[in-house]
Structure 1
Amino acid sequence: MSSRTILKCETSSLLHPNNRLRAHLEQLPFNYKATVLLPDCDHAPSELDATLRSFQSFYLIQELPLYELLEECLRRGNVCGLSYKTRIDEDNCAFLKANGQLCLSLDKDSYEVLGIQGKACRPKCSRYVVNVDLSDSNMAPGSPGYRRLLSGLTSRLLLRMDFLLAPTSGDTDGLQPLLWRYKWSRHTPEVSGRLVSHPVPPACDLRSHDPFDLLEWLGAVQADPDLSFPLPSACPRPSSNSSQSSFLLAARGLLLPENIMTLIQQLGHFLEGAHSPGWAAITVHGFLDSLHVHERHFYTLILFPDRTYSLHLAKPAS
């Protein structure tokens, strides 16, 4: 684990009515990979595999003008997405959350041309972030705020980007006008699984181990199916009666927080089974070159059969 990583840890229970798990998941709104580690397991449980394969489809729309996305979002709602293959440190980027929060990252020239109030990413930085709450009454169609934003995006700064978009309700009606006018392709998350040939530590060790060492160990397990390199000495040690195999299930694509929450809940049901392992881990990674990478990079949740969990939230240090 890099010394320039900030790690926040929280323990709670899925059964606790005031747990903040969903709120934490929503801080990383767009994810490209979710990996489930199932210790002492040699196959993919059918219910977890089915859950991953039930994640909603998403769409890649090419050269989409940002103003058209805003118009369709305000008219129909239930659409979220982010610009695709844009570099956060060089290109103009955008994302639109399901709650109507629009965020733009712009170079200095584009920011000045757009004419909408924002702020510098960091002191003495030449990049600016513009946040717009499209659900606010001041941004209703026809309002002064909306007209100013629309004018900026149509007459002063015509931003066109490739977008990954997903209908949050599963209903594609909100995307149909865009699909009729622009080149697009439909995708489903790619699901894969493989064995990991190495024993794993017991649950009691995971509850007490140093979080940085634990995440380093989990990263090593997920990175190499054969673990042909030695684990760091500080990492958790396997129990003597642990089996020699575990199973990794992974989904890659545009994964939304509600997908991850469904997976966590299904994993909780699985761990209650008579022959389930003593714990399981889910690691979720956000898109690296997108705006929210500065908010959170990835998180790992370790879940136990009694529905208690430890959540490790990591982000690069500023």
Structure 2
Amino acid sequence: MLSPEIFNFPAPESLFQVEKFEGKVPLNNQNINNFHYNHLVTIIIPDSAKLEQLNEKVTQDCSYYKILGLKLEDLVSLKFICGFIRSGKLSLLSIDRRIDCDTCFGLDPYGQLLVTVDKETYQSLGLEGSISHFTRKLKNHFTITVDLADEKLIKNTSRLSKLKTCLGRLEKCSVIVTWKPPNEDICPSSIAKYFSDLGYVVKQCTPNFRRHTVYSKVPDFDLGSIDVTNAKEFAEWLGFVSIDGDFQEDPSGYLSSYVVPSATGVAKKIDCLQWRGFFTATDIKEMIEQIIKTTNLANLPWISIYIQGFSDSPVSWTNEEQHYYTNGDNGYIIIFNKENGLFCIQKCSRKRYKDVNKYK
């Protein structure tokens, strides 16, 4: 039996925002700095720009570590807090989890530990938290935030011991972690040695690289005077390039086809470079600087960089909850040339959804 009127359910709302800037890319922009858990980086460049050195630099500088079966209580120790959380910038994220039904957690570079749990787990922990924004009526999902960089927490040994005991009740979970030391004299692999000394299996990971080339007409637009509608159409075209879509204009045999909007001239060669891994905001800024250094912006009409987060991270921007009732498609695009640029930000709606159980 078919579920009643499923076809009438509205699609999740999505927000598309455009922010313009002039001159150099503002690396201190909040869209970059507040997006901590970056998973996919896609660079699209026209006219056969040469970026042979970029992949080598990204592979070397953006390595991270996978820790199998981590006990969350091991993050709450004076040695770890003082040596890694309060010194340098550490980012940690649970993996192989489902944000809508599993316990997920993340630790951002500022020492904020955020844990999302179901109702039963929350009641057994003994930690103070809040009801998830998306389950206000059902009250079946909770978020717990702990500032591990708080000096008051470090000085209060009884509170630290209680926190460690409570977190010890959570199941083990594999994580990915990266650490930026406070100075160049310290090796970033110190974080791997720390967990290895605790008896954990630690694996070094490097970003997975993929490159392809397409030939397509480029939509007509001017970065200096582009509006939201043009920016959305151009972002859609960039998305089609990134998935290596078929730009053939003959739609025979297809139920649907894509036509480049308002494009003139002949087809051009477009290079697309993609990395999948675990990138911090610092990694993203270093990649942008490297792109500017290795390309001649004066000869390029534009360069685009698309950043996509993890779909099952507990937060998207800063401490904004991940939208697990939708599709977690939070991300942003930077399109720029020598004189102008813009940020295209894609966010899910914060709309609260009704109890799906009543439709069963």
TM bin, normalised by shorter chain, reads 0.7 to 0.9
AA aligned to 1:87 is R
AA aligned to 1:116 is L
The alignment status of 1:11 with 2:20, answered yes or no, reads yes
- Equivalent in the alignment of 2:64: 58
CA distance in 1 between counterparts of 2:236 and 2:221 reads 17
TM-superposed deviation, 1:39: 1.5
CA distance in 1 between counterparts of 2:50 and 2:269 reads 12
Contact 1:98 1:168 in 2 (8 A): no
How many residues align structurally? 307
Contact 2:297 2:337 in 1 (8 A): no
- Equivalent in the alignment of 1:252: 276
**TM-score under structure 1 normalisation?**
0.87
Shift of the 236–105 alpha-carbon distance from structure 1 to 2, 3 Å rule, reads same
Shift of the 94–14 alpha-carbon distance from structure 1 to 2, 3 Å rule, reads farther
The alignment status of 1:146 with 2:160, answered yes or no, reads yes
Matches within 5 A, 1:63-142: 63-71=69-77, 73-77=80-84, 78-122=89-133, 123-124=136-137, 125-140=139-154, 142=156
TM-superposed deviation, 1:302: 0.4
Contact 2:21 2:342 in 1 (8 A): yes
The alignment status of 1:304 with 2:337, answered yes or no, reads yes
The alignment status of 1:194 with 2:212, answered yes or no, reads yes
Matches within 5 A, 1:152-191: 152-154=166-168, 157-169=169-181, 171-180=188-197, 181-191=199-209
Q: Deviations over 1:78-131 (max 9, x none)?
A: 432100111000000110112111100011111111111111112123110111
AA aligned to 2:342 is S
Matches within 5 A, 1:289-300: 289-293=312-316, 294=321, 297-300=330-333
AA aligned to 1:278 is P
Contact 1:37 1:247 in 2 (8 A): yes
Contact 2:46 2:268 in 1 (8 A): no
Name stretches of at least 5 consecutive residues in structure 1 with no aligned partner.
none
CA distance in 1 between counterparts of 2:220 and 2:55 reads 24
- Equivalent in the alignment of 1:218: 238
AA aligned to 1:73 is F
AA aligned to 1:38 is I
Contact 1:203 1:278 in 2 (8 A): no
Contact 2:51 2:295 in 1 (8 A): no
Shift of the 15–280 alpha-carbon distance from structure 1 to 2, 3 Å rule, reads closer
Q: Deviations over 1:61-91 (max 9, x none)?
A: 1111011133253031143210011100000
Residue 176 of structure 2 aligns to a residue in which SS? strand
The alignment status of 1:269 with 2:293, answered yes or no, reads yes
Percent of aligned pairs with the same residue?
22
Residue 312 of structure 2 aligns to a residue in which SS? coil
Larger radius of gyration: 2
Residue 292 of structure 1 aligns to a residue in which SS? coil
Out of 253, 258, 262, the residue aligned to residue 231 of structure 1 is 258
TM-superposed deviation, 1:314: 1.1
Per mean C-alpha deviation after superposition, the further-off stretch among 141-150 and 110-119 is 141-150
Shift of the 65–14 alpha-carbon distance from structure 1 to 2, 3 Å rule, reads farther
TM-superposed deviation, 1:152: 0.9
The alignment status of 1:288 with 2:327, answered yes or no, reads no
CA distance in 2 between counterparts of 1:81 and 1:166 reads 7
Q: Deviations over 1:142-189 (max 9, x none)?
A: 4443232112123xx133110011122352213313123112211111
- Equivalent in the alignment of 1:35: 42
Shift of the 10–21 alpha-carbon distance from structure 1 to 2, 3 Å rule, reads farther
